[in-house]
Structure 1
């Protein structure tokens, strides 16, 4: 599990002080008399109390049956620090100790009416400083004596709260939708957070697997063949340039690892106001693990079917005694086999982060990442003209063992935050990002289903892709009368440079699917086509979140992007051709949130996106095309079924316009009149049903089709997009007794049938997969078994590369065992 740091300042006037609002990095929290809402579940049992001296003063440990303790209120009265916990009972005897450590006069732990427990720590001369940290067996409170203030009329102390994110499967806030940590209920969009608890319980380490519990996202490609980044569709559109890492684009041709990720935030629908150019299906933001103020060390590893194994190391803690400089280092290595013959892969990832609190108003984070990926290129198996897989084993491999995809990826950046005052802050980020992919394999060019003969050509591609990104944002809060505003203004610059080279010619010996004979003879790498792209993007955006009354919130945003692209292309032995294109776009969005009663939120929004068509893509008169545009109308309802269980229902209509299609008057030319549509509903349920019983579930209905075209595909369904999709992941963990910590999980995934290509010439059949887990948590360690495809069904998640040639078989029954220990 991961600890979350939040810092609160307590200001006392007279005899009493309450926690005020404060901020660390980009997180902001307001602590009131109900710091965490009381739950309607059974109270947490505090079964033991330990008081021990420490290097800084005193350590108080509250041992619980259930780890989550809800802090109701924390105050300072005189020299006493008072922490009160709701929905808790004291099973152990009350405690009272006088002068347990130097500077500490008294410690008291007692039970209160209405299932509350109070902890009082009285300092000898001033209220002490407390550090609250959730542990595997309860809550640890580190106490340091406070210093008396020189000002007799004002007493200021500081309380540091460090602990687990006790929201479990139901995080209540996300920064992706609006750019600030805003409660999900106050955002007029469909947004889902996949927390670390779900990633751990499912034992997933790749983004594609992690997003199986996020509704409306499906696979769309095979291993090692994608030219669009991770092979995923969201609301019917590719997730290529709309995957981000802490708000900065994280494009990669390799599958993305989640080993250094704290949570995944999924924003559905166009999002160009904050994120710039991209497809209109939505945005996925990977929120990474951040440095902690307390030492944290975790070692984990797993081994599973098909000779797969991995190991990870997670280290964090302070580098100075004051804790103003902290670090986090995530190391992981994965070696994965496959049920497919000759197919394997590996990944090495190193992710360091350094955080420095320069002063109480300014912080600087420096972060980086290095990733190496290698995997066998595998196009799957063919389907016949009847839309059925040919009669070969699902393990049949029809490429060559030497064919593989490799990539080195590197990034380095920083994030600076500065609070000018309580109402105005500056955020500035910069990052350099580079990846060098190489793809090398015999490409299947055609297939004869009668003879089983597959014609192949030599395919090779390599290049260096570079991106520099920088932005600066001002966030201000102010009032106009009784109306509250949170204004976000940003400037952004991005430079993309790439120089790929391609080889796509020369016949390679064919292979027979029914009786394959592998050549095992690598071909010569000799690129024949070269491209050089340089793209500069300058952007400005503004957004205002307007709280008219607490029950009514408006959101308005506008972005302007200017894109300048210069491209050169050259075939071997031919002169270089040059192309240049400039495009610009305004992308607005509007939203409204209305909360008629406390547990219910109604919302509506209009959002837009744009995506340049690029230099070198010319129409009949030699001019370039306008950017593609996307727009979405969405309405929805969000409700808290209980304090720990939330439900979201959304209905939407997306149109992607300005798509380049064939000119009906001249098939050799193109015109820009095409449009595709995606409309449907999303239903998401996340949280805790009963103590220890967690669930995340999603249902999606999607009608994605070609709405305008000049050919006979108008009205066809978009390839790879199912009409119906359902996912469920639920776990139960025993809460007390000798078996406390023992739990089990069940996963269900249904994906409806999908067109295999845009011509709708064949259909991928639907499938219903069942997964399961068994785990045991004890103190500082966790052991777990996960089963995928429990009933060993045959299924096909996707086509290999968007054609009717080959499809991607799903994995059969597989099991993995994992273990993690904190120290």
Structure 2
């Protein structure tokens, strides 16, 4: 028998679904109309994040920390990657593992690199491929547990990317960019709307890019194209379809030894362009195919139905050579690093299906307004993963010799399956003109299956969990709205303990207290939030059975985030953020020495500011200039003998726009400051991005 809370949730969901269809029964076929879901992307200051929140509620009246980076802000940042797009967002540490070709970021102290969604749907886990940014209108960052909306996610937060969809006006936009490190890039964006409406409109956009890296032999090549179409089926139905193809080729960069960079090496400083892998054994190629649709139907009874579906196929073939982590140096002369048995040939073939169904209705009950959402979502993913390991010789970092022979030492081939289904219910209750209560609950059923084709073994694990969310927001006036919220999350964990007991899901919980701020004309949006986040059931070393794990660990992060986005005086636009995280540590562990250790790569303070000023008032044409800064205080990594130094880098831009063309010069890290993004372990640190100068010519017809 189901526990009472699950039985009640299931009864309510299916009861509301039955009512919706019963109320709309007629003898004639319904009229259908189509429109893609769109967040507000036309203004510099976002007031909604519909795709990520699964709600049309204003951000000002949402009791949760959400950051939105829209198209103009992405242009300001000159962001080429997701890590660059969310760099400087409050609560986010991005690119901490350097320029290795993947999307690496931490939200509220928890690694969230796998928590990337597209249009509200998970794009698959561990795809080894950085998400293409050029096809996106917005990047939305939700901080804190998001399991109620999205199921199994890390408690720190997640990123949702909103794709470019057909618009109501016809246009052609293109750009050509040339920049540092031989960057060559071209983009195009074509939209055709025969009826001056989003219905019946078609759009196609794409990018071609090629860039080298300051590290020897490292490069990045990208090819991307995405068509989309909105059907015109009538007033009550919206249907939008979209497809995309991405090809990516790159060399994976690992970092540099600590001795010779952060710490003195008796043999001198290491050349910053040193590549510690092998150019003959280090290329990654990947192809990502994605297609899906968004369907909406408005019932006459007042219910709205929304179905979102996507299928994604990812193929990756990559080679990489890594330094050893345990015996890093061959000897105490500190000239040669050990790479034995640490060369890999990785092949991944992932296929995932994801779907989300929602029923929504607004109604009044006993003079109280309710905004009810009932949802059922599911994901199925299959991953065929090969990881062949090879032996390769050591590398003298002062006189590197590449092209060494490799010998196969181990073959690993696994087939992994993940299936989950989630049932959720959310009610946004307007208690009066000022007080909003939000209650949400969700139950998930998850199943994992792992097959080792080499050892001919198989393991299966099933988990289920109930997560919830409750918040209260009080609108003092149109300017200030304080709130308090509590949310939980869960994430399945594979593996067993020494007694062959399957691990329980990790759990997360968070208390958040905050204040939302805005100007009366909504051209200024700001927030400040204090949070206390706990990650529980963390796997740690078994103190009795060597080589096994037990789930007795806990991590805690606690801090304050504040940010503002503003369009001031018609000519000045700015974004600013500040994060203070005094506590980010292990609070429970079977090893007493680990308790109190700070979580890797989390600075106590981070900050950012970005501005753009246009000389022509009330116009997006003419000259403009911009400037900004980004920085972090020092941070640590377990075992690293020294802290990673703090840094501040400055960015600037200048440009000129006419009705049909424009030009822009942008400089990131203007003074070419050498800094370190983070560390992989006690022996390897990762490099920050050097100065990047880009000149872009834009066309708009």
**Please, what TM-score do these two structures have when normalized by structure 1?**
0.76
Deviates more, 1:662-671 or 1:325-334: 662-671
Q: Is the 8 A contact 2:98 2:677 kept in 1?
A: no
Q: Which runs of 5+ in 1 are unaligned?
A: 1-21, 29-163
CA–CA distance in structure 2, aligned partners of residues 324 and 472 of structure 1? 22
Larger Rg: 1
CA–CA distance in structure 2, aligned partners of residues 275 and 588 of structure 1? 12
Change in CA separation of 1:522 and 1:729 when aligned onto 2, cut-off 3 Å: farther
| Deviation (angstroms), 1:656 | 0.3
Query: Is structure 2 residue 543 aligned with structure 1 residue 664?
Result: yes
Q: Deviations over 1:531-556 (max 9, x none)?
A: 11122211100100111112111111
| Deviation (angstroms), 1:423 | 2.5
1:196 maps to which of 57, 71, 74: 71
Q: Is the 8 A contact 1:719 1:760 kept in 2?
A: no
SS of residue paired to 1:274: helix
CA–CA distance in structure 2, aligned partners of residues 341 and 386 of structure 1? 17
Query: Is structure 2 residue 684 aligned with structure 1 residue 684?
Result: no
SS of residue paired to 1:325: coil
SS of residue paired to 2:67: strand
CA–CA distance in structure 1, aligned partners of residues 374 and 443 of structure 2? 12
Q: How does 1:806-821 map to 2 (within 5 A)?
A: 806-821=684-699
Query: Is structure 2 residue 528 aligned with structure 1 residue 653?
Result: no
Q: Deviations over 1:448-475 (max 9, x none)?
A: 2733201113211112111111221101
Q: How does 1:33-52 map to 2 (within 5 A)?
A: none
Change in CA separation of 1:767 and 1:224 when aligned onto 2, cut-off 3 Å: closer
Query: Is structure 2 residue 131 aligned with structure 1 residue 265?
Result: no
CA–CA distance in structure 2, aligned partners of residues 679 and 316 of structure 1? 45
CA–CA distance in structure 2, aligned partners of residues 386 and 718 of structure 1? 22
Query: Is structure 2 residue 383 aligned with structure 1 residue 498?
Result: yes
Q: Which runs of 5+ in 2 are unaligned?
A: 1-32
2:217 maps to which of 342, 350, 356: 342
Q: Is the 8 A contact 1:536 1:563 kept in 2?
A: yes
SS of residue paired to 1:804: coil
Deviates more, 1:330-339 or 1:422-431: 422-431
Q: Is the 8 A contact 2:676 2:686 kept in 1?
A: yes
CA–CA distance in structure 2, aligned partners of residues 207 and 341 of structure 1? 23
Query: Is structure 2 residue 354 aligned with structure 1 residue 469?
Result: yes
Query: Is structure 2 residue 463 aligned with structure 1 residue 583?
Result: yes
CA–CA distance in structure 1, aligned partners of residues 620 and 300 of structure 2? 51
Q: Which has the higher contact order (CA 8 A, sep 6+)?
A: 2
The answer for the alignment partner of 2:501 in structure 1 is 623
CA–CA distance in structure 2, aligned partners of residues 494 and 628 of structure 1? 19
Change in CA separation of 1:194 and 1:27 when aligned onto 2, cut-off 3 Å: closer
Q: Deviations over 1:18-47 (max 9, x none)?
A: xxxx9954459xxxxxxxxxxxxxxxxxxx
SS of residue paired to 1:764: coil
Q: Deviations over 1:1-31 (max 9, x none)?
A: xxxxxxxxxxxxxxxxxxxxx9954459xxx
Change in CA separation of 1:522 and 1:306 when aligned onto 2, cut-off 3 Å: farther
Q: Deviations over 1:679-718 (max 9, x none)?
A: 1000101112322111101000112111111112110000
Change in CA separation of 1:181 and 1:768 when aligned onto 2, cut-off 3 Å: same
CA–CA distance in structure 1, aligned partners of residues 95 and 611 of structure 2? 26
The answer for the alignment partner of 1:559 in structure 2 is 442
SS of residue paired to 1:212: coil
Q: How does 1:283-682 map to 2 (within 5 A)?
A: 283-318=158-193, 324-384=199-259, 388=263, 391-402=269-280, 403-421=282-300, 423-445=302-324, 446-448=327-329, 450-456=333-339, 457-506=342-391, 508-519=392-403, 521=404, 523=406, 528-571=411-454, 575-614=455-494, 617-641=495-519, 643=521, 644-682=523-561
2:605 maps to which of 724, 729, 735: 724
CA–CA distance in structure 2, aligned partners of residues 720 and 695 of structure 1? 27
CA–CA distance in structure 2, aligned partners of residues 331 and 524 of structure 1? 41
The answer for the alignment partner of 1:779 in structure 2 is 659
Change in CA separation of 1:526 and 1:348 when aligned onto 2, cut-off 3 Å: farther
Q: Is the 8 A contact 2:640 2:681 kept in 1?
A: no
CA–CA distance in structure 1, aligned partners of residues 99 and 480 of structure 2? 45
1:245 maps to which of 110, 115, 118: 118
Deviates more, 1:315-324 or 1:348-357: 315-324
Q: Deviations over 1:196-252 (max 9, x none)?
A: 1111122212111011131221235546758xx621111111123321111011244
Q: Is the 8 A contact 2:176 2:186 kept in 1?
A: yes
The answer for the alignment partner of 1:764 in structure 2 is 644
CA–CA distance in structure 1, aligned partners of residues 684 and 333 of structure 2? 15
SS of residue paired to 1:517: coil
The answer for the alignment partner of 1:715 in structure 2 is 596
The answer for the alignment partner of 2:614 in structure 1 is 733
How many residue pairs get aligned? The number is 654
The answer for the alignment partner of 2:579 in structure 1 is 700
Change in CA separation of 1:705 and 1:509 when aligned onto 2, cut-off 3 Å: same
CA–CA distance in structure 2, aligned partners of residues 601 and 429 of structure 1? 32
Q: Deviations over 1:402-451 (max 9, x none)?
A: 31222111111111110113721100122111111222022211432733
SS of residue paired to 2:541: strand
After superposition, the CA RMSD in angstroms is 2.3
Query: Is structure 2 residue 155 aligned with structure 1 residue 280?
Result: yes
CA–CA distance in structure 2, aligned partners of residues 376 and 738 of structure 1? 43
CA–CA distance in structure 1, aligned partners of residues 418 and 619 of structure 2? 62
Deviates more, 1:323-332 or 1:555-564: 323-332
Q: Is the 8 A contact 1:223 1:376 kept in 2?
A: no
SS of residue paired to 1:664: coil
Change in CA separation of 1:566 and 1:389 when aligned onto 2, cut-off 3 Å: farther
| Deviation (angstroms), 1:813 | 2.4
CA–CA distance in structure 1, aligned partners of residues 619 and 107 of structure 2? 44
Q: Is the 8 A contact 1:423 1:476 kept in 2?
A: yes
| Deviation (angstroms), 1:790 | 1.1
Change in CA separation of 1:325 and 1:185 when aligned onto 2, cut-off 3 Å: same
Change in CA separation of 1:807 and 1:197 when aligned onto 2, cut-off 3 Å: same
The answer for the alignment partner of 2:103 in structure 1 is 230
Q: Give the helix-richer structure, 1 or 2.
A: 2
